[in-house]
Chain A
Amino acid sequence: MPLSNRHLLGLQGVPKEDIQLILDTASTFREVLERPIKRVPTLQGKTVVNLFYESSTRTRISFELAEKRLSADSINFAVSASSVSKGESFKDTIKNIEAMKVDMVVVRHSAAGTPLYLTKISDANIINAGDGIHEHPTQGLLDMYSIREKLRKIEGLKVCIVGDVAHSRVALSNIYGLKTMGAEVSVCGPSTMIPKNIEDLGVKVIYNIDEAIQENDVLNVLRIQLERKAREYFPSIREYAKYFGITEERLEKNGKDILILHPGPINRGVELSSGVADGLNQIILKQVTNGVAVRMAVLYLLGTLN
């Protein structure tokens, strides 16, 4: 059974069967990653462009590895500036790349909606690798894959997304995906970092981190973007760490065996203490490995659709 859409722009509206298919396919590729020769010929002859309009190390490397392991030809196109400040307009850039006959475009951009715009001006399969504060679907998928791998299910689990939900593209993808798969989702963070009307998505809002720990099976802890504007939304890093940081003491106090995810990179001592970041509850590095497998699955499923 193929995917129902030829692009992956977000997890909003993606049917359960599609998510299931991606996660199951990722399991197969996960096994490939354990082999001595970690390469399959599946996408031989396909060309993938990694179009990164925003700096990203982890996501780009993860996609690049996934492409290489599927034997696709991959090209990296990194631009630090947006089309506004650049001489060549965004549309012209895409038209140029398209003229070189590429099959798939993986796009990261600081502006929400850019991947959707790409589908209108290009014939390639478009994969969203993060658009503004909108969605980051492959991160949502790899988080679900990692939860499923560890806890053997998603349905019925209680998952809380902790931190700067308002300025996170990971949060929305997690909310849409997890809810489709039957999890109960909540968010926890300072109220200035919880976007308006999020409850209308069927998400519970919690302002007390201890309550969030007690109530949930999984915490997906977001990175506080210290370098971004988000810094204006809470009084100090000290205060954030004190009231929303996950520490060993806090986990112990709540006497809870809880699974902890983090999309990385971690601010140690802010959202996670070092003890928790390296502790037994977390699966942070597993997420990174799984990310390659999940991206291989997405590339494979979209790349072999036509």
Chain B
Amino acid sequence: MKIILKNVSLFHPVQKIDEKEIDILLTDGVISKIGKINPEEISGAKVFDLSNKHIVPGFFDMHVHLREPGREDEETVQSGCNAAANGGFTGIACMPNTEPAIDSAEVVSFIKKQSKDHLVDVEVIGAATLGRKGEYISPMAELYEAGVVGFSDDGVAIKTSGILKRAFEYSKMYNIPIIEHCEDETLSGGAMNEGLNSTMLGLPPIPSVAEELIVIRDILLAEYTGGKIHIAHLSTKKSVEMVREAKRKGISVTSEVTPHHFTLIDDSLKIYDTNFKMNPPLRTKADVDEILLGLKDGTIDCIASDHAPHSAEEKEAEFEHAPNGITGLETQVGLALTELYHKKIITLGQLIEKLSINPRKILNLPVPNFEVGQIANFTILDLTEIFTFDINRSKSKSKNSPFDKRLLTGKALGVINKSKMFYQDEFLNL
């Protein structure tokens, strides 16, 4: 099937493409022409008028919890991929804290099989230790062979420095990163950031230093072993500063931030709404300010959602007892455009690097190119559409978002990948 994308603004920061009012012809999902195309010359082509819309390399979210296997009531590979497509992503990496954990080739194959026919590429992060228990390293060679692109015990940090050192040394053979959830559990265990707000709300606190101690431990061990460390969802001022300093020294460290950590602060907790409960917790304005600096100066490489679906029954508990985490796949692009691009924190080029290019580079995945003969891997954006996010229109099985009814400027309208298109709420085979 032939389709023509008419009058698009084509933008690719790595290929240095920035063209307006251009047309793209796709034949069976493969780019067959970029330039001025007269639809009448191409018989039977379906035409999409994308005037004032941008086409950029397909977005990739490297931090997603799919909940399958184990909690299919909260999310499945299928529903998570639908949410990803709806949010403007052509690829995601799923975290290994499923039941059972992704610590064997069988579980990797199962997830790959579940996602095989979907538009969205699902890459798999394997557990760094067996059962994510922090006692023995996982069968990393076997997992690598099965296709995992990173190792993590996400949900918790790798328990001891000793086992982390071994994980670095072993994973180095395959040049794939360790992705760390940085939290010293002997200091945490609370429900929100430690500060005046936790004191006033009477909620057990999590000090920022609980994150920072593990960030510095990981940086030092990565330097010592020559391993690759990726700091997941960093949330504090000092974490940003330490990553910046480590990069300056040439240590192999990369990092990501979630939209909620650059958008919200712990003042939001005053109503004890469990949709604002996540780990790491929302921090303070000083932390957000440093995160914005880090996004601007490149200390923070990626924006990732930490999409964490939870059932309404579980979230509707007392604040201290409710599980951590919020859904994020469908609000991420809107929040990044609203809070970062439109507020002139970062450029469109930087935004695309953080949402598409860098996560793939960190995980050693090919970056989509705009060339004739390449499979089309696109995200279609409207940079200026103003809309209200409605959680009831989410494709995720769970609805635990603090951003329901939030006004956003800039929206992902659709995606194209694997000879499939998702546009105007419909999947289409190309």
Instruction: Find out whether the CB atom of B199 lies under 8 angstroms from the CB atom of A132.
Output: no
CA distance A113 to B200 in the complex (A): 11
Instruction: Find out whether the CB atom of B317 lies under 8 angstroms from the CB atom of A132.
Output: no
Instruction: Find out whether the CB atom of B202 lies under 8 angstroms from the CB atom of A133.
Output: yes
Partner among B194, B196, B272 whose Cβ is within 8 Å of the Cβ of A113: B272
Chain B interface mostly? loop
A201-236 to B contact mask, C-beta < 8 Å, 1/0: 100000000000000000000000000000000000
Partner among B201, B205, B272, B320 whose Cβ is within 8 Å of the Cβ of A196: B205
Instruction: Find out whether the CB atom of A90 lies under 8 angstroms from the CB atom of B318.
Output: yes
A267 within 8 A of B: no
> Within 8 Å CB of B290, what residues of A?
none
Which single residue of chain B is at the shortest CB-CB distance from A166? B199
A195 within 8 A of B: yes
B183-209 to A contact mask, C-beta < 8 Å, 1/0: 000000000001110111111110000
Which residues from 231 to 280 on chain B have a C-beta closer than 8 Å to any C-beta of chain A?
271-272
Instruction: Find out whether the CB atom of A116 lies under 8 angstroms from the CB atom of B202.
Output: no
Instruction: Find out whether the CB atom of A83 lies under 8 angstroms from the CB atom of B317.
Output: yes
A195 and B313 contact, Cβ closer than 8 Å, known pairs A90-B318, A111-B319: no
> Within 8 Å CB of A295, what residues of B?
none
Partner among B196, B200, B201, B321 whose Cβ is within 8 Å of the Cβ of A84: B321
Instruction: Find out whether the CB atom of B201 lies under 8 angstroms from the CB atom of A134.
Output: yes
CA distance A133 to B190 in the complex (A): 12
A111 and B320 contact, Cβ closer than 8 Å, known pairs A116-B271, A133-B202, A197-B199: yes
> Within 8 Å CB of A117, what residues of B?
272, 318-319
Instruction: Find out whether the CB atom of B196 lies under 8 angstroms from the CB atom of A200.
Output: yes
A172 within 8 A of B: yes
> Within 8 Å CB of A169, what residues of B?
202
> Within 8 Å CB of A198, what residues of B?
199
B169 within 8 A of A: no
CA distance A82 to B271 in the complex (A): 20
Give, as a whole number of angstroms, the nearest-CB distance from A133 to chain B.
4
Give, as a whole number of angstroms, the nearest-CB distance from B171 to chain A.
37
Which single residue of chain B is at the shortest CB-CB distance from A229? B204
Q: How many residues of A contact B (CB 8 A)?
A: 28
Instruction: Find out whether the CB atom of A132 lies under 8 angstroms from the CB atom of B195.
Output: no
A179 within 8 A of B: no
B316 within 8 A of A: yes
> Within 8 Å CB of A89, what residues of B?
313, 316-317
Give, as a whole number of angstroms, the nearest-CB distance from A170 to chain B.
11
A14 within 8 A of B: no
A67 within 8 A of B: no
Instruction: Find out whether the CB atom of A84 lies under 8 angstroms from the CB atom of B199.
Output: no
Give, as a whole number of angstroms, the nearest-CB distance from A21 to chain B.
24
B interface residues, Cβ below 8 angstroms from A: 194-196, 198-205, 271-272, 313, 316-321
A interface residues, Cβ below 8 angstroms from B: 12, 82-84, 89-91, 109-114, 116-117, 131-135, 169, 172, 195-198, 200-201
A-B contact pairs, 20 of them (CB 8 A): A12-B200, A83-B317, A84-B318, A89-B317, A90-B316, A91-B316, A112-B203, A112-B319, A113-B319, A117-B318, A132-B320, A134-B201, A135-B202, A169-B202, A172-B199, A172-B200, A195-B199, A196-B195, A196-B198, A196-B199
A82-B318, A111-B318, A132-B202 given; 7 more Cβ-contact pairs under 8 Å: A113-B272, A117-B318, A132-B203, A135-B202, A172-B200, A172-B202, A197-B195
